[in-house]
Chains A and B, each alone.
Chain A
């Protein structure tokens, strides 16, 4: 069925998810349901304002950074920034996986039996479902040890949970495809997080009370609701317009000044969205386009519509029963650039008509889709390929080639940082391997150039001021890739290795090793340059660390062992000045002997 091909879930799975989500509201935390070998976890929706904005949180959108050691994949490699999510939603996840519920154990047993897991929820329960899925992906799915099956996440009228990096990281790991969000056309909840806390605070608990279906019915002319709708839409509009201007790239400076006066919601849609109208379902995958649709589908065409939409925005939050039943009956459209915006009954054009999309709205959506295409083109146009082609080892002899490559790399990095490449680009193994190869081969040359021109005296130590961001970036990508299946983060791994060398108190060592080249194998020579010429006693700890880690680097291919003891190498010269007492106990000693013997024969 086409629906399954587009969304990754079939009608039955959605129906069971919906039933479970409804059922979950009668429980304290979650409901577990097992149907035909698939385990469904549905989460309870709460309609109190503390569950939307954490009470002590002072940030304008109730946001907080995710902890890197708990969610190592949820960050940007290019910019080295962690994901931002709503703190209240994160808290409800923490309660859930904590010892007070049986949730963790239930998931564990499903994983042990290799069963597929579906996380689902209606309204704010959907937010929990999204975060629970992320937690599952980080805790089980990427770990080699579990070989856990692919999860699914199905939400109904869920609010937005995380920021751009949240969306980017899921895209990079190719996990976006696990998330399906259903949205009825006017439902206010998926838009709420686009508004600032201060603008909706006063009316929030009143409206949440109305959203809770167990309470009293609402009136069409409720002024508080109209006011609430207007405020949410105003902020949503600002976010959407700013986003579209940025996608197109016009008036940058003016918008920059303007937005510094106006805090904009960081939250962005994630995964696949299914919008529903009277006649049809419209499936959209592109996050930028979804953001535009969240605003424009809720605009009104005339005064008459304007007076009822606030009412509909509450009522539609309970329209999911009807939506679920209509899957398979309604027309289905997929919104992307391959389906031209033509007229006709089953075309995108009439789908957009159904969603009430104006000329302006179509343009914004078109711009969003076009931007994605441009990203893919930038990718294909061979920033990457030109880099790859010249990545032949022979070329590296030429200094000129080195700087030319640096230019290309910086260009790629510039695009990555500004989000101008597809999300998946940074996660691809091919790119990571190339970047690593480049780093290992060229960084030593750059280091020698840096010290050769005495830049360390002009600008300071290489590790502190000189190291180009392209290498830091390549290092982050590499470490991310190899550590992913272990669930550890690079910093912890590094320090545990250093602690394993037993050189003294951890705190002292950390202080001594601040900004040392031991952090990365390709910086080996920078560390050697820094240490040489200094009295042995002064740098003993740093040197022993370097030695201790060298073996591992040689094994990983980070450092070329042949070069270390070459006659006349910087390292060799320095090694010769070291006290014999050190050399004999050093892990490098046998290696030196071996080198000398080979040479002698």
Chain B
């Protein structure tokens, strides 16, 4: 691990504080607070939406946030446990009719800053979150600045915001003496970038753990001040002119190491001395957040090299597929691998694992923001990931069904069984415009629907169940409908040549299944008329 050589948490803070954005946001908040209503104004091309502070509300009760599905926050990833927000703030969000107001007001805007002071800030953060977590991103840029606002939600909210890669849209300005932003309730959790400020300057922290740690240090050492909560106007004015004067080190010797010097300056910016105990705590806190090892750009450049080094594994699988396709058993690589008996299957399994490891790493790096911001839009990575998925997901499906616990009866496509990397790669593909398809002349080299085999495994089981007649009539007709739907879907794929030859190999699971189905239909006396029930558009949705 290479040492981080410079420290930027203070530069980031003073950069933000020197901008017009900072001062204009505050003046909008001020107006909103004085008028007691939402203030929307356009300054130098930026639309400021300031939400007024509403005093005298009871904070501290968490309530589940309606995420996923067609509700308020569909785009927010909804892992267990449920993201929760302050009930009073959510109520305010509805009471102030923010949704209705903004849906009208923000048409045609390019840059939108949502801001607010105190409770208004918490509502502002919720508003920005609502704008950003729609299924499609808004046609404008959103930035949220709050001043002295209380914490909005729980830890799960915080993690799902950063997993959805939205955290960088939030900045919370907090005076180190202000009590309101700290909550006595341990369940509340910070998210986004925090700008801690004092009369001497400011420091940005963007890691929730460090922010919490900083709150703890401030709780233990600071002198809380009720009036402090109303002093943001003073801070904004003082700090926005700070850049004109040079920042020299006050206490004693400057550390030789640039990183250490930077941290020492940051500690002073918060009004602490580097020598006393609380100063040392602050210093440690800043150090833990800023110790990012390498610049994202360099990391992604190296990743290109890593990708090249796992490519032999991909070629190995490709080669395996070609050999299976050509083999006399006429089985196709999916079924070969599911049988998994030969030494070469073992080797392929190793390759499969190596690739999975690599892509899991990439997905994780993207989630933790270690890679450049637009990494997943790069053509190289979109194609590389797609190619990987097309070739390898069938093997992962085969592996899943080979080792499946039959009693549990779970399927690959059920919640939680499909490896996350594929879902992420699916997401990436959505971001790319599809080229115009021309008609295919021969079968594709890999089946275009990577979950084809998983779907087949499901209907295979359904067919067995129907044939055995073990369940009641109602369920049987339901299953039969599913079977026919898949049959028609598969037919379309084959007709459009969107499948690879391995699907159609004489002894492949698919061919066998088609045979069984035909036999079953014949036995039951079904003609072709049933097939007509399912129309083609429907089939495509399967």
Contact = CB atoms under 8 A, between A and B. Distances in A.
Interface in B1-60: 5-6, 8-12, 14-16, 18-21, 44, 46
Given A251-B206, A257-B168, A261-B143, A306 B258 contact: no
B6 A248 contact: yes
Interface residues of A, number: 67
B246 A404 contact: no
A7 to B, nearest CB: 28
Given A241-B15, A457-B438, A257 B141 contact: yes
B254 A359 contact: yes
Contacts of A405: 308
A252 B290 CA distance: 12
A250 B246 contact: no
Contacts, number: 195
Interface stretch (A172-180, A363-371, A578-586): A363-371
Contact of B308 (A363, A367, A399, A403): A403
Contacts of A258: 15-16, 19, 21, 143
Contacts of A411: 301-302, 304-305
B441 interface: yes
Given A257-B141, A420-B297, A241 B11 contact: yes
B406 to A, nearest CB: 37
Contact of B15 (A238, A453, A468): A238
A367 B259 CA distance: 10
B29 to A, nearest CB: 16
A454 B254 contact: no
- Contact-residue bracket for chain B: 35 or more
Given A241-B18, A257-B143, A418-B297, A363 B444 contact: no
B5 A251 contact: no
Contacts of B16: 258
Interface stretch (A44-52, A108-116, A458-466, A539-547): A458-466
Contacts of B15: 237-238, 241-242, 245, 255, 258
Nearest to A255: B12
B380 interface: yes
A392 B309 CA distance: 19
A358 interface: yes
B341 interface: no
Given A238-B15, A249-B295, A363-B261, A299 B245 contact: yes
A198 interface: yes
Contacts of A5: none
A249 B311 CA distance: 29
B261 A359 contact: yes
B435 A460 contact: yes
B8 A244 contact: yes
Contact of A253 (B258, B300, B369): B369
Contacts of A378: 298
Contacts of B373: 252-253, 256
A260 interface: yes
B445 A453 contact: yes
A399 B315 contact: yes
A319 interface: no
Interface string A401-441: 00111111011101100101000000000000000000000
Determine which residue in B295, B312, B438 has the highest number of CB atoms from chain A within 10 A of its CB, and name it: B295
A245 B442 contact: no
Interface string A514-532: 0000000000000000000
Contacts of A469: 379-380
A297 to B, nearest CB: 10
Given A306-B244, A359-B247, A260 B111 contact: yes
Given A249-B297, A256-B373, A410-B304, A358 B247 contact: yes
A358 B444 contact: no
A177 B95 CA distance: 65
A100 B380 CA distance: 51
A400 B312 CA distance: 6
Contacts of B167: 253
A199 to B, nearest CB: 8
Contacts of A360: 10-11, 246-248, 265
Nearest to A406: B308
Contacts of B265: 359-360, 363
A468 B381 CA distance: 12
B507 interface: no
B8 A251 contact: yes
A414 B300 contact: yes
A234 B245 CA distance: 11
B440 interface: yes
B243 A249 contact: no
Contact of A414 (B11, B246, B249, B304): B304
Contacts of B304: 407-408, 410-411, 414
A454 B206 CA distance: 47
B311 to A, nearest CB: 4
A471 to B, nearest CB: 13
Contacts of B435: 459-460, 464-465
5 contacts: A250-B292, A255-B15, A261-B21, A407-B311, A457-B444
The 10 lowest CB-CB distance pairs between A and B, nearest first, are: A407-B308, A249-B295, A358-B246, A253-B168, A241-B15, A414-B301, A360-B247, A299-B246, A358-B248, A410-B304
